[in-house]
Amino acid sequence: METTTERRRLFATEKVGGRAVYRVQAATVAAGILLVLYYRATRVPAAGEGRAAWLGMAAAELWFAAYWVITQSVRWCPVRRRTFKNRLAERYEENLPGVDIYVCTADPYAEPPSLVISTILSVMAYNYPSEKISVYLSDDGGSILTFYGLWEASMFAKKWLPFCRRYNIEPRSPAAYFSESEGHHNLCSPKEWSLIKNLYEEMRERIDSAVMSGKIPEEIKLKHKGFEEWNSEMTSKNHQPIVQVLIDGKSQNAVDDDGNVLPTLIRVSSVISDSPVILNVDCDMYSNNSDSIRDALCFFLDEEMGQKIGFVQYPQIFNNMTQNDIYGNSFNVSYHVEMCGLDSVGGCLYIGTGCFHRREILCGRIFSKDYKENWNRGIKERGKQNINEIEEKAKSLVTCTYEHRTQWGNDIGVKYGFPAEDIITGLAIHCRGWESAFINPKRAAFLGLAPSTLAQNILQHKRWSEGNLTIFLSKYCSFLFGHGKIKLQLQMGYCICGLWAANSLPTLYYVVIPSLGLVKGTPLFPQITSPWATPFIYVFCVKTLYGLYEALLSGDTLKGWWNGQRMWMVKSITSYLYGFIDTIRKCLGMSKMSFEVTAKVSSHDEAKRYEQEILEFGSSSPEYVIIATVALLNFVCLVGGLSQIMAGVWNMPWNVFLPQAILCGMIVIINMPIYEAMFLRKDNGRIPTAVTLASIGFVMLAFLILIDGKSQNAVDDDGNVLPSLVYMAREKRPQYHHNFKSGAMNALVCFLTLFSFTLKQG
C-alpha cells in the first residue's frame, strides 16, 4: 500500500541493482591495472632492445587506465526514473502549462520537407490540449520549399489530428504510421484509414515534386500571403528575416474537422507564445510517444523535487538500425548505464534533441530555492495582439543585428562558439545550480534516422569528437568550469565524451606496434607462463566480459556487441584521429584538415547492403586507407610473426610472443569484413582497388623500415651490421608534373627526414 509521500510524488527514482557485484569487479580490475602499470615501470628494457616501443605501450596503458577510471564515475550508483501520469492528470489537468516546440532545419535537399513535416505533424498531435501547444519551425536556409511543405502540413493537420485522437494511434508521424503494418487500420474503418493515407500520400507527392522542380506552382502562392516574402534575389545565405503564422490558435479557422483548436504553428522561434516549457527536437526525430509531454511534466510539476529540475532529457533512438547494429549507432550502453549514472550525481547530459527545458534556464536563470515558476505564463496573453503585429514584432527578433553585442549565446540561450553546443549548454545549466532528469520509457519518445553508411558514421563522430575535445581544452572544461559547482562524478562524466578524440593515439599505437613487434622479435608483454601475465589477462578478460554483460543487458545482441567493438576501433583510428588533429591544429591557429566524403553508389544499393549488414565503403577516402592499412598490417604481421616463431628465428621460447600473437589475431578476426571488402566483394560498396593498393604500399613500407640496422637478422655472415636498405617509388599521375630528378631528390629528403628519425628512436 502506498504511503502518503508516494501518492504525492509524480515520479519515482529507483536505484539499479547489481552494484555489489559491479564494485567487486571494479576493485579487482583497478588492482590489476595498478599491477600492469607497475610491471611496465619496473621492467623497462635496455636501449636498443625495444625501449621506445615499451615506453609507448606504458603510455598507452596509462591513458587507458585513466580513461577507465573516468568511465567508472557513471557506473557506481545509476538510477532509473518512473513517472505517474495519472497523478499528474488528477492534480493538474485543468492547469497544464503551455509548451513551445522548436524544430530546426537548414536545407530542403539534405533534410527534405516531407521528412520535416512528418516530425511537425507528430508533435502537433501530442496527447495534450492543443490550445497549449505552439510549434516553431526554424529554417536557416530560408527556403520557400520548406515553407510550402509547412503550408501543406497546416492543411493536412485538420484531418490528421482528429484521426490520431479518435483512434489513439501510435506513432503520430504519418510517414512512420503508414509505413508500418497495415494491420493498424483495424482500429478504424478501412475506408477512413485509406482516405487519410491517400490524403497524406498526395500531399507528400506534391511536396516532393516541388522540391525536385525547385519551384512552387503559381496558383499555390496565391493561397497564403507568406509566399510574397520570397523573390528571385534571395539565397540560403542571404535573405531577410521571415516570420509567418500559418495557424493562429485564436483564429476562428484554427480548428480541425472535429472542432478542436489546432496548435499555433510558427516558422521561426520567437516570443510569441512565451510558454514556460520548451521542447527542442531535430527535424528527423519524430514523436513516437504521444504522452512524452506529460511524462516530462511529471518532473517539472512534482511538488517535492520538481523545483530543482531544469531540463528532462529523452534518449536519441533510431528506427532504421539493423538487427545487429552494423555501425554501432544504438548507444544502448550509454542510455541504459552511463546516462542513468549521471542522473544520480546531478543530472544527465543535454544531447541537443528530445529535451524539455524550462524557458527560464535558457534565459540564464540561476537556481534559487525561493524562485516560483509561473506555469500559466503565456496562456492568458495569447490572442490579445493582431497576428500581423505579432509577425512584424517577431521579425525584429531574428535579424542579424538583434544579438550583436548582447549576452545571447553566452549567458543567455544556447552557447555559441563550439561545435558541440548542446553539451556546453547543459554544463552551463548544471553549473548554475539546476539538476536534470533522464527518462527512457518502454515506448521510445522519439525516433529518427541513424547513419546508414560507414562514411556518414565516421563523419558524424568526427564532428562530435572534435567538438567535445574543443570544450575539454577550453575554459569550459568540466574540471575547471564545474569546479565547486557540480559534483566530481558529474565533472568526470562530461569527460567521457570530451576525451573520445584523445583515445585515438593510444588506440592506434596499440593496434599497430605490438603487431610490428611480433614480426621484429620485440616482446612487449610478459611471458605467458610468468606470474606477471596474470594481471594483463585478468584485466583484459574481466573488462571484456563485463562490457559484454552491460551490452546484452542494455538490449544489444552478441553480434551487435562484436560489431560495436569493431566500430570503436574504426572510429578511434579515423573519426577520433581526425577530430584530435583538427582540434590541435585549431588550437595552434592552423587551418583545419579537409574531410570530404563522396558517395559513389546509389542510395538504393546502399540501403540494400545496409539491410543485409554489409559494410559500405565505395569511395577512395583517406580514412578508408587507414582502416585497410591497419587491417592488412595485422594480418601480415600475424602470418609473418607465427612463421618466424615456428622457425625459431628469434632464439626465444615461443610463449614469449604468445600475448602479442593473441592480440594480433583478435584484431585480424575483428577485421574480417574489411578483408572481404578488400579482396572478395564485387559490389560497388567494396573497398576500391586504389585504397587496397595504397594500403599494401603502406604495409610494405612498414616492413621495409623494419629491415634496418636495429634488426637482429640485419647482419652479414661475419656478424657485422648491414646498411639500411629501403626502396621508394613516388606516386605518378599523368595530370601532375613530377619535376624529374629534382622532384625525386626532394621526395627523398622529405622521406629520409622521417626515416632517419625512426631509426634513431630504435
Indicate which residues carry an active-site annotation. Answer: 140, 422
Cell of 433: 545550480
Alpha helix stretches (DSSP H) within 214-290: 218-221
CA-to-CA separations, 583 to 456, 469, 503, 578, 580, in angstroms, rounded? 20, 7, 14, 8, 5
Q: Which residues neighbour 72 within 8 Å (Cβ) at sequence distance 6 or greater?
A: 26
Residue 111 marked as a ligand binder:
yes
Cβ–Cβ < 8 Å for 160, 286: no
Residues forming a β-bridge with 255: 261
| Largest distance between two CA atoms of the chain | 102
d(CA 323, CA 613): 9
Strands 446-448, 286-287: pairing is antiparallel
Location of C-alpha cell 626532394:
746
Cβ–Cβ < 8 Å for 243, 391: yes
d(CA 224, CA 391): 14
d(CA 291, CA 85): 9
DSSP 279-300: EEEETT-EE--TTHHHHHHHHH
Q: Which residues neighbour 726 within 8 Å (Cβ) at sequence distance 6 or greater?
A: 704, 705, 755
Angle value at C-alpha 230, between 224 and 231, nearest 5 degrees: 135
Q: Which residues neighbour 740 within 8 Å (Cβ) at sequence distance 6 or greater?
A: none
Q: In this structure, what DSSP letter does residue 464 have?
A: H
Location of C-alpha cell 576493485:
27
* Element housing 357 (H / E): strand 355-358
Buried/exposed 675-694: b ≥16 CB within 10 Å, e otherwise = bebbeebeebbbbbeebbeb
Cell of 679: 579482396
Q: Is 110 exposed, middle or buried (0-12, 13-18, 19+ CB in 10 A)?
A: exposed
How many residues belong to the chain? 762
d(CA 671, CA 573): 13
Q: Is 3 exposed, middle or buried (0-12, 13-18, 19+ CB in 10 A)?
A: exposed
Residues forming a β-bridge with 133: 99
Q: Which residues neighbour 632 within 8 Å (Cβ) at sequence distance 6 or greater?
A: 675, 678, 695, 696, 699
End-to-end C-alpha distance for the chain, whole angstroms: 73
Angle value at C-alpha 147, between 141 and 153, nearest 5 degrees: 135
Cell of 629: 592499412
Which of 76, 78, 87 minimizes the C-alpha distance to 13?
78
Location of C-alpha cell 615506453:
55
CA-to-CA separations, 455 to 317, 608, 650, in angstroms, rounded? 20, 16, 42
Which of 489, 496, 462, 494 minimizes the C-alpha distance to 476?
494
Cell of 558: 552478441
Q: How many other CB atoms are found less than 10 A from the CB of residue 408?
A: 15
Helix (H) and strand (E) counts for the chain?
A: 28, 13
d(CA 637, CA 542): 27
> What would you report as the CA-atom Rg of the chain, rounded to the nearest whole angstrom?
30
Residues forming a β-bridge with 448: 318
Q: Residues at the annotated binding site?
A: 111, 140
Q: Residues at the annotated binding site for UDP-alpha-D-glucose?
A: 111, 140
